[in-house]
Structure 1
Amino acid sequence: MTAGLGSPTPSTSRPGAVPARPAVRVGRVSLVRRPLMVVTTVLLAAALVLIMCVNIGRGDFPLSIAQVLDVLLGGGSRIERFIVMDLRLPRSLTGLLVGAALGISGAITQSISRNSLASPDILGITAGSSAAAVALIVLGGGIGGMLATVGLPIAALIGGVLTAIAIYTLAWRKGVDGFRLILVGIAVNAMLTAVIGWLLVSADINDVSRAQVWLNGSLNGANWSTVWPVAIAVVLVGGGTVVATFTLGALRLGDDNARSLGVRLQHSQAMMLLAAVGLAAIATAAAGPIGFVALAAPQIALRILRTPGPPIIGSALTGGVLVVSSDLIARTILPVELPVGIVTSALGGPFLLYLLVRSNRKASV
């Protein structure tokens, strides 16, 4: 006999039945215990620390992992502290924070659109930041080089935010549908890519070379002044997203289900998209457009942690691992040092094809 509406489920109707996942209740807050997820997250964080130590230790003055950890804990010689703290740590920290920002941004956009192919670089937000930055480089080259250098992060941030507002407005039709949002984003991305191409063709050759280096996504110019803005954004915006995990999970269930759970749909979508845009724009302003990290990190984290949707903390850690590992490959393994964005694009392209093939197989089934 099947249970009717309002009748107890079979698992709870039997005396002594134990829930599949035990809950932890603290006051009015109730959480589900997921030991495997916690252990996997800790291991992912440990892997990130290990990769960072290896990346910091590689260079013209090599250091072992033990030496790097000794310096980070307050020890080491004067020259070792100078190399680690002043020269190499800001670069690795920037890579970690940029990867975390892109991972969180991708997790938000994929959750809201309910599409694994949605990410800031696919939707055109990264292209908006790039177009604004390239325009400033081209125009600033004729007016004064200092303008292009000082205003580059601000231009990239403004360009990303304005592009996101335009995409959201064009996709609005009594609400924002995920499929329409992606289509509008792809169209805007194509137009902005054409604008970038036109700026590069019409610019001076010296400005073009500077713009091309920035467009490939690089951590070469990272310093402590680059670290702090991204760190503040990740802590504040990323922390707020973690707090709003319930809202994000409700949005994954669809508009009607989210409303039935008491979520203010349009307000929540707008705030979450604003958080994703801010993180992606800050990351692009700090290191240039690093492609495919926001696309791949949430999907990899989802498969590693076995969660129903892209996890926020797992996506941030996975994004950090991807960027720092790509920087390590670009600096040490390849014959010629390359910008980190080239490596992430080379690794992310096949992953995008995998997602497309997987989506087509699901659709055919």
Structure 2
Amino acid sequence: MAIYPPQGAARKGAAPEPQTLGFLLLEDFTLISLASAIEPLRMANQLAGRELYRWYVMTMDGAPVRASDGMQVTPDASAHAPLRLDWLVVCGGVAPQRSVTPALLTWLQSRQRQLRRIGSVCTGSWALAQAGLLNGYDASIHWECLAAIQEAYPRTAWSTRLFSIDRDRFTASGGTAPLDMMLNLIGRDHGRELSAAISEMFIYERVRGEEDQQRVPLKHVLGTTQPKLLEIVALMEANIEEPIELDELANYVDVSRRQLERLFQRHLHCSPSRYYLKLRLTRARQLLKQTPLPIIEIASACGFVSTPHFSKCYREFFGTPPREDRGETLKIRRLEPAIIPLAGSEPLMQSSSATVALSHARGEPTYASIALG
């Protein structure tokens, strides 16, 4: 069976072979994350004037798949097509646990030794973690899934960073974070000049690095004028399972209980106990909706001494009891329409989308504007 692209060393004096990427789309993947990962590769080829990167969009069975926004994407090939890949990027989205099948895990484990790099965007790192491919690595995932995946796969060092690049693994949290991750990877491969030129073409003011965090940290909301409040909130966030008493929190940062109350009222418009409860209940709701953990275990993991007390606090805060909230989530999942694969033979492209895009770019004024060694 033929393998595309063909193997073999580049001719003497010729440009090196392009790196070939496979983007494996899981059901309900997020389209913005896929585009954020592919577009920098397209522009790298255009600016270099040659094919530095080649990519194929794949699904496990080669059938079309729907993104989380309802758009249907027809892949180039199935995961079992004879493609020689250098990188694999798993693209996840809504409810990643439902997209991870035994067949997918077996396939991921069988391919890992054939790849130079393995990565993911959005919640695709859930599949990599379940396959055991992130054990001992730093990794990122969308913050909505962070609490659940930390519980499920503790052998991975999960981070709130926008993206993580750790040796031959790369994971981006979602949204536009894959754009930053790919720009960093392209910079490593072909130099910062190319990476900077791509960001200029995309009118992207600043390429974010691995140190950048998801969401807007509280310190950016408060500025640097309230270091004690920032320290207290950090202590709360780090002690969800075993909450610290407010008097003890005040002592940690050398303020009185009254000063502590005033700080929270003035800057966060609530009491410290209310803020702490909100952190714990928000974590509980994430675990409730994203994991099959029993409610009693969720209550314990979020610092509640009894299930009835947890249920009472949850109902008062969210307006619905935890058991009903979980039931609604399951009901919505059951009502989601099934995707019927289109009939037809498995597609296999000998010319990748990258080749087509590069051909179209030949008339652009930026074509081959970056000289690479």
Largest Rg, 1 or 2: 2
Q: TM-score, normalised by structure 1?
A: 0.22
Structure with more of its chain in helix, by fraction = 1
Structure with more of its chain in strand, by fraction = 2
Q: TM-score, normalised by structure 2?
A: 0.21
